[in-house]
Amino acid sequence: MEINGICKPEFAPVRDAFEANFAEGLELGASAAVTVDGEFVVDIWAGDADTTGAPWQRDTIVNVYSTTKTMAAICMLMLADRGELEFDAPVARYWPEFAANGKEGVLVGHVMAHTAGLPGFDPPITVEQLYDLEAAAANLAAQAPWWEPGTASGYHPVTQGTLLGEILYRATGRRMAEWFRTEVAQPLGADFWMSLPASEDHRVSDLVRPATPQTLTVGGEEVEVDELAVRASLSVHTTGDEPATREWRAAELPASGGFGNARSVARIHAALACGGALSGVRLLSEAGARRALEEQTDGIDQVFGVRLRHGLGFGLQIGDLSFAAGQMFWGGLGGSLAVIDLDTRASVAYVMNRMAPDALGDPRGTRIIQAALTSL
């Protein structure tokens, strides 16, 4: 297997881990990147972009699913740092209709930490309704929370993006995909898209679903069909084929619809790792960046069924996967994974196209992250 790109000698374990994923038959195509002080020490890619054998290129991008949530979180952290948003304020301050059905006490910080009690749409919606930002937001504004907000986390797989996107829209008058593009991606020269134009379709890698049906599993244990996780998952029915459609790619889906590669994820995250600024571009203050590390919840997540420690928009621990002080992470359905270390000023990202079936049991990204952190 030919590994393309650059890897500094001291980070050879990252390349070794990346290569091992291919040698063990776990990959089709993938990329991995590490930055230190904003500079790339690893930027590698290999494999195929699709099942016909087309090679994964330097500029290949793919739908990273929930790793997109880190980009939405950065937008919100920036707004808070600018004084345009308060995490301790009720969502209804910015979005008055949201106060309906007992949600007047739901805070912006609750949404950031998955404790708002709205992990799914009720009543359920179609994918077409998800693409309709006003309709999806109206659904969430009208419903009652599924548990007392702020008392426990319950992963919001899709709804967090709708909620954060609408809060940003109400606070700024601008849609998040456009705001992110002009305030984050373009200033940093990062090839990450929250709404992908058709002109970039030729670079998109096909996601390959597992040979066995995807299940809501955590650590290899499948959840019961009557549990809250399934209710949340079924609240917007998707088949897994959506990322191949122009409608999904064009839509603003801040929780699941972002397209990029390891280089672009690591580049944007490097701005946080370096205290809010990168390459002469300041996104937010160092204090504003470190707010992401402020613990918001620590307990058994109502959806994942495992321990979740969550900061503002980023995870600090999930299940047995935990990180040191100064480090935070998030990942996406299928296996994409990223870590930011504000103390060593490093960012690590892994993105792939062959999806794993287990929500938290994929070893590929974990071994790359561990190799990178050990190399630091």
> Do the beta carbons of residue 348 and residue 368 sit within 8 Å?
yes
> Do the beta carbons of residue 338 and residue 331 sit within 8 Å?
yes
Q: Which of 92, 118, 109 is nearest to 314 (CA)?
A: 109
Q: What is the 3-state secondary structure (H, E, C) of 143-155?
A: CCCCCCCCCCCCC
Which residues lie across from 30 on neighbouring strands?
Answer: 46, 352
- Sign of the dihedral through C-alpha 190, 195, 199, 202: positive
SS3 12: helix
Q: Is 336 a catalytic residue?
A: no
- Choose the catalytic residue: 31, 66, 153, 233: 66
Establish whether the linkage from the previous residue to 145 is cis, with ω within 30° of 0: no
- Other CB atoms within 10 Å distance of the CB of residue 82: 14
> Do the beta carbons of residue 154 and residue 117 sit within 8 Å?
yes
SS3 134: helix
Terminal-to-terminal C-alpha distance of the chain? 26
> Do the beta carbons of residue 215 and residue 334 sit within 8 Å?
no
- Sign of the dihedral through C-alpha 97, 132, 127, 110: negative
> Do the beta carbons of residue 356 and residue 210 sit within 8 Å?
yes
What would the DSSP string read from start to end of 223-292?
PPTTSHHHHHHTTB---S-GGGSHHHHHS--TTT--EE-HHHHHHHHHHHHTTTEETTEE-S-HHHHHGG
Q: Which residues are catalytic?
A: 66
